């Protein structure tokens, strides 16, 4: 008979954990992969290692808790089924960080009054807000949503049932090619958004924070689609979700036409910005801000009423965003340095 080490025993129980086993293994393995169905019944379970939920993993938690002393990472496709009731509540307590993208599927009982139910707790340092996802569940005039909040050094994911809020007029059009979410708390109702989802006719176009993926804006390339309906879903700094009112692009006659050339720009050479307009007063206080693809500020050039201006771009190859600003006019231009 093959002799099992502590590490292999932990690996074995990770695959076959059932409602009749309370796992208190002491093996200090680096990580174990969980695949298939893992069901935890009436006993609490404790796992002394990092856990990787693979694409096929389905973890079932009923009236119990799973304590993970390490980190938990979920592949897209992994699922956690958790009871959401005043009596039966599943809970995942992670001593380390939570990363990846695991779908939470709650079993909601009719008697639930909609008050907050905590599902997951993890260390904030190293965790990703999107480590756990859940489709909104609409029931009449109410919606059940997965949210998160910072609690000291931890992140807590929880669900609540709230009355469906009307859409918010958040989308602003910039020229004929860019839409922007209004993130000015002084004019958007007091919200500070940190994550964005953009949709065209209900289909996801892009998502991300502004720093990671320029999430607060969507650029249609040339011009936006006049026959499409654009919407944005946002997450604010408190983890609450909001939906913008739908927006239809309206073509505008631009007072200024801005061209950047050459594009692509060879490294260590200048780029030129040509501003064409019938009213030169519009260029009086015009400027160009330069950002890298991650949204980090690189530099600025003043136009000062000129129709042709040279700009020194970074020597590092990559994509940069030039934001041309003039009176009542803003245009984003993507430039490649190669």
What is the residue-wise DSSP string for 221-240? Answer: SSS--TT--EEEEEEETTS-
Q: Is residue 215 part of a domain?
A: yes
DSSP 8-class letter at 245: P
191-209: average pLDDT: 90
Mean pLDDT for 273-294 is: 84
Q: How many whole angstroms separate alpha carbon 163 and alpha carbon 276?
A: 50
Beta bridge partners of 199: 204, 231
pLDDT at 121: 94
On whether both 106 and 233 belong to a single domain, the answer is no
Is the same domain home to 73 and 148?
yes
Closest CA to 104 of 91, 87, 115, 123: 91
Q: pLDDT-derived band of residue 87, with 50, 70 and 90 as boundaries? A: low
My answer on whether 107 and 54 are in the same domain is: yes
- Are 98 and 68 in contact by the 8 Å Cβ rule? The answer is no
Own/partner contacts of 47-53, CB < 8 Å, gap of 24 or more, are 47/10, 47/14, 47/23, 48/10, 49/10, 49/14, 49/25, 50/96, 51/14, 53/78, 53/80, 53/100, 53/102
Mean pLDDT of 4-19: 37
- Residue 189, in any domain of the structure: yes
Least confident of 88-92, 181-185, 235-239, 323-327: 88-92
Residue 116 lies in a domain: yes
Q: Position of tokens 């408190």?
A: 238
Identify whether residues 107 and 212 lie together within a single domain: no
- Residue range 18-48, pLDDT digits in tens: 433 334 444 444 688 998 888 876 677 888 8
Residue 218 placed within a domain:
yes
Same domain, 53 and 150: yes
One-letter-per-residue 3-state SS of 68-134: ECCCEEECCCCEEEEEECCCCECEEEECCCEEECEEEEEEECCCCCCCCEEEEEEECCCCCHHHEEC
Q: What does the pLDDT read at residue 97? A: 94
pLDDT of 315 over the 60 cut: yes
Say if residues 273 and 312 touch (Cβ distance below 8 Å): no
Tokens of 105: 């599927």
Last residue of a domain, one of 193, 213, 243: 243
Q: Is residue 248 part of a domain?
A: no
Sign of the Cα torsion 4, 7, 13, 14 reads: negative
Indicate the length of the chain as a whole number. Answer: 338
Reported as a single tens digit per residue, the pLDDT across 55-69 is 999 998 866 788 899
Domain boundary among 128, 163, 198: 163
Angle at 194 between CA 190 and CA 198, to 5 degrees: 100
What is the share, in percent, of the chain residues with pLDDT greater than 70? 86
- Shared domain for 133 and 205, answered yes or no, is no
pLDDT in tens, 115-170: 888 899 999 999 988 899 998 888 777 888 888 888 889 999 999 888 776 788 89
pTM of the model: 0.49
Q: Is 13 in the same domain as 157? A: yes
CATH number at residue 188: 2.60.40
Q: Are residues 267 and 229 in the same domain?
A: no
Q: In CATH, what number is assigned to the domain containing residue 302? A: 2.60.40.1930
Q: Quick check: is 250 in a domain?
A: no
Residues 290 and 187 in one domain: no
- Which residues on neighbouring strands pair with residue 242, listed in sequence order? 234
% pLDDT > 90, the chain:
23
Please tell me the distance from the alpha carbon of residue 39 to that of residue 16, in angstroms, as a whole number: 8
pLDDT at 221: 61
Q: Which two tokens stand for residue 230?
A: 């654009």
At residue 304, the pLDDT reads 76
Number of domains making up the chain: 3
Confidence of residue 233 (pLDDT cuts 50, 70, 90): very high
**pLDDT for residue 223:** 66
Of 57, 52, 59, nearest to 77 by C-alpha is 57
In this structure, the answer to whether residues 299 and 236 fall within a common structural domain is no
**Cβ neighbours around 154 below 10 Å, total:** 17
Residue 234 pLDDT class (50, 70, 90 cuts): very high
Distances in Å between the Cα of 242 and the Cα atoms of 114, 128, 216 are 18, 20, 14
Going by C-alpha positions, the residue among 110, 214, 99, 88 that lies closest to residue 161 is: 110
Q: What is the rounded distance in angstroms from the CA atom of residue 132 to the CA atom of residue 334?
A: 33
> Which residue range forms the structural domain that includes residue 272?
256-337
Q: Does residue 243 register a pLDDT over 80?
A: yes
pLDDT for position 100: 93
Let me know if residue 321 belongs to a domain.
yes
Query: What ranges in the chain are assigned the alpha helix state H?
Result: 6-16, 210-213
Tell me: do 159 and 175 sit in the same domain.
Answer: no
- Provide the pLDDT for residue 254: 65
Residue 16 has pLDDT above 60, yes or no: no
**Based on the domain organization, do 178 and 146 belong to the same domain?**
no
pLDDT exceeds cutoff 70 at 301 = yes
The answer as to whether 210 is a domain residue is yes
Cα angle: 17, vertex 134, 191; to 5 degrees: 140
Query: Quick one: tokens of 301?
Result: 């050039």
């Amino acid at each position: 008979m093959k002799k099992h080490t502590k590490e292999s025993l932990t690996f074995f129980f990770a695959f076959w954990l059932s409602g009749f086993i309370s796992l208190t293994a002491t093996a200090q393995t680096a990580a174990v992969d969980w695949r298939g169905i893992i069901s935890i019944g009436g006993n609490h379970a404790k796992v002394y290692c990092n856990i990787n939920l693979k694409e096929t993993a389905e973890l079932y938690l009923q009236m119990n808790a799973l304590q993970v002393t390490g980190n938990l990472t979920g592949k897209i496709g992994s699922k956690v089924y958790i009871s959401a009731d005043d009596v039966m509540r599943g809970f995942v307590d992670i001593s380390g960080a939570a990363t990846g993208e695991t779908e939470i599927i709650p079993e909601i009982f009719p008697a639930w009054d909609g008050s907050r139910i905590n599902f997951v707790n993890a260390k904030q340092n190293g965790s990703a807000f999107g480590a756990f996802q859940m489709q909104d569940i609409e029931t009449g005039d109410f919606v059940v949503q997965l949210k998160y909040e910072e609690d000291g050094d931890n992140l807590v994911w929880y669900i609540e049932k709230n009355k469906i809020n009307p859409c918010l007029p958040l989308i602003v059009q910039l020229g004929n090619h860019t839409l922007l979410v209004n993130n000015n708390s002084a004019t958007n109702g007091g919200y500070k958004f940190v994550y964005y989802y953009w949709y065209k006719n209900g289909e996801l176009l892009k998502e991300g924070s502004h720093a990671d993926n320029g999430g607060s804006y969507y650029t249609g390339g040339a011009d936006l689609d006049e026959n499409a309906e654009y919407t944005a879903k946002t997450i604010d700094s408190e983890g609450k979700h909001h939906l913008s009112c739908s927006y239809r692009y309206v073509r505008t006659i631009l007072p200024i036409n801005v061209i950047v050339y050459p594009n692509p720009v060879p490294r260590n050479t200048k780029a030129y910005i040509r501003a064409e307009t019938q009213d030169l007063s519009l260029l009086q206080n015009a400027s160009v801000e330069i950002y890298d693809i991650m949204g980090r500020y690189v530099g600025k050039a003043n136009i000062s009423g000129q129709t042709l201006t040279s700009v020194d771009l970074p020597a590092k190859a990559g994509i940069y965003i030039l934001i041309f600003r003039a009176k009542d006019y803003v245009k984003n231009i993507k430039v490649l340095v190669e």
